[in-house]
Structure 1
Amino acid sequence: MSKAVFTMKLEAELRHEFMTEAANEDRPASQVMRELMRDYIAQRRQAREYDAYLLRKVEAARISMRAGRGRSDDEVEAEFAAKRDQVAAD
């Protein structure tokens, strides 16, 4: 794997605190930054995948509603009220 140099501007206090914390763990700052970057990339990918999942679910619900398979809020509430009553009775 080839490596590249990454330069960034930081506030002096932030840099000092970061370098101190990395040194306290006996870890190079570059290693910590790579881990932070990998974690950030993983978080963003997961967020995009979840957003795509939600969009698919919403679109499926819209298709269902347009096809007349939807139920009103009152119908859903009545169904689950009956289920709650049944659980309470058991």
Structure 2
Amino acid sequence: MEENSSESEKGTWKLSVDGSSCLTGSGAGLVLTSPDGWMLEYALRFKFKATNNEAEWEALKAGLTIAKHLEVQRIEASSDSQLVVGLANGEYEAREDLMMK
């Protein structure tokens, strides 16, 4: 059973995102790691007002967009935002306009 488990994880990319907002602006960071350990790191600064959760959501969207351009087949994403994780898993429903889009 352990071999099947490691086989299924083989080829899985990892995406870690974090967003932040303050009086001077908002932004996010993301790290996309290939199955063999190759890392892409991005820092994003938004030209619009965003809450912490919105910044985190935008980081997730950006990371998934990058993964799509790299033709990633399997990805596991992580975030420290319970709202973003719940939205991505379909457990939560968005209320704010930016999150609904």
Q: Shared topology, TM-score over 0.5?
A: no
| Superposition TM-score tier, normalisation by shorter sequence | under 0.3
- More helix per residue: 1
Question: Which of structures 1 and 2 has the bigger CA Rg?
Answer: 1
Q: If the length of structure 2 is used for normalisation, what is the TM-score? A: 0.24
- More strand per residue: 2
Q: If the length of structure 1 is used for normalisation, what is the TM-score? A: 0.27
